[in-house]
Structure 1
Amino acid sequence: MSEVESISRTPAGDTRDLTMIEAINEALDIMLERDPDVILLGEDIGYFGGVFRATAGLQEKHGKTRVFDTPISECGIIGVAVGMGAYGLRPVPEIQFADYIYPGLDQLVSEAARLRYRSAAEFIAPMTVRTPFGGGIFGGQTHSQSPEALFTHVAGLKTVVPSTPYDAKGLLIAAIEDNDPVIFFEPKRIYNGPFDGYYDQPTRPWKGHPDAHVPEGHYTVSLGQARIVRAGDALTVLAYGTMVHVAEAVCRQKAVDAEIIDLRTLVPLDIEAIEKSVRKTGRCLIVHEATRTSGFGAELSALVTERCFYHLEAPVERVTGFDTPYPHSLEWAYFPGPVRVGEGIDKLLSE
């Protein structure tokens, strides 16, 4: 990407404080209004408005042919969306939890991701698969997985992870308007407020947070453009989704002059922004909630090492989830919280 988005953002026009759920709902509402080809489908998204209420009120406003419920069949949901895209529509299927996306994996990998290439661009699959992922509800191994690395491995798919209401709305609109299939992971832990990882404190509300000031109407956040959450010189922290807020809280508490980069999109990746930051700081910490082995952090580590080796003053450090199924009762221990992130920072700065 040409230029990383700066730390300061002053949206033009009127803004309102929205939660991430409200921002997602508004993005969907706007696209349904603007484009008659946009279709929403998924389990319980119509009359009920979705298990997290992300589609509340949209069926009533736009009708049952534009926003409709499906059987409990993720393979069917994704397969229908692929056909809709090839036909000329812009479907936005919802998979109720990312843990249930696997029955539709073949449709995504073998059909959606390859359709443009195998048809010599005669057909495309302009679909955006929305799905909540990660911890936050003590859902354990069947409701808390973070499978983003599986999709970043597939050529032809784009992978997006917002961390704020502002980005959630702008990135979702950009994804729906994109002509390629996009997997839009929504970190459910921060649906209703930023979470700094301190378990004995309640999640703060989005109201009053600078990134909850969401512009009215249509706007986009470019896919492939990272955001500098805070500038710094001591080390670079690469994160996305919930981990952005945890990293920010830890650096603030420890008074570390860290530069935190919110990747926002994993594919396409803003490698230019990463390279520029690491060349400046000489140290890199990668934080994500998914399991460590073959997680997206491994790819980030390889890229940083390949491109910035002679600028590194210490090996790249990763703080991640453990290589175990996500436990129900031990969610707080599995989650890369402030203690482990802080230990990663201390290790980097001591080398």
Structure 2
Amino acid sequence: MTTSTGSADLRDQLRALPKVSLHDHLDGSLRPSTLVELAAKVGHELPVTDPEELAQRFAANAASGSLEKYLEAFAHTTAVMQTAENLRRVAREYVEDLAADGVIYAEVRWAPEQHQEQGLSLDEAVEAVQAGLNEGAEAVAAADGIIVVGQLISAMRQSDRADEIVELALRHRDKGVVGFDIAGPEAGFPPSKFAAAFTRLAEQMLPATVHAGEGDGLESVRDALVSGRAQRLGHGVRVAEDIRITTGEDSRSKTADEGEELIEVELGPVARWVRDRQIHLEVSPTSNVQTGAIAGFAAEGEEPALADHPFDMLYQLGFNVGVNTDNRLVSGVTLTGELALLAETFGYGLAELADFQANALEASFLGYEEREALAGVILEAWNA
């Protein structure tokens, strides 16, 4: 398979192909126009009130290298997501926007505990989001489209409500909730702190993905696997810190051709476990650059760029990687755009980009029969 030439042509081609999104935060993916409208309605002050300028401000903050500026947007988005009506609208538009970008399966993560400032119960918040997701899916189906969306209920590490949020997820597991997640600051809040909650999930056989290897290093990944029993890793890119690569004549083997440099790769125990057991990495390329998750892979003294991302190394070494947006509004990205950037940066063709969709679908928390049905749709389109 080949890609069309030219960045715009590639994006048009990719937008029309069915895609899978596993790591996308609801409160980071509002329409700018909706945020402006709802902020005026609830009396929340925004830095600017023109939707285009607001989106540009958030994107500039995200690209500034300051995590504080990156996170500024969430104070505004969560402020307008405190009623059932607003949650329902945001969720409906979320589905419609994903479908417009060619996504046919998505898992949306969000933390209901952050949406109780105006009296909503946890269950009411989850029900409102599910109603919006259902309305969005129905609108897409009415336009002859296909999209399936499941909720991932996140507990915020710093608020110490994981046990309560696990029970919330379990109450709604047959009503749209497909899994559990923990989010928030990794450093100081390891999954081991919530071991009882993860044990409860395992006993009830509700799957979990864990943010790890983004804001903290290798021990964060290890603990997500051990204490969090994670089936997937949210970002997980710093697992690459457990990979040692040597090059040069000193490492030349007797079988190497003359003039050919031998590259030796040594995987540490955590990286080997993740690779050998095909633990899926929910990678968000642009966000990983913006939040500093890949700063350690850039040359000393240099600002990290997408070319420094270990994504391609992980893929070439056989890790199970997928591509995600993390926060579409905050980072100013789409899934189509992220795939195109990877293709342009690492020289991928459609065959590689199709691999990432297959990886994500196989790692999704859908049932086997549903995965098989969607796999047929994806494979047929990407192979056409």
TM-score (norm 1): 0.31
The structure with the largest alpha-carbon Rg is 2
**Structure ranking higher in helix proportion:** 2
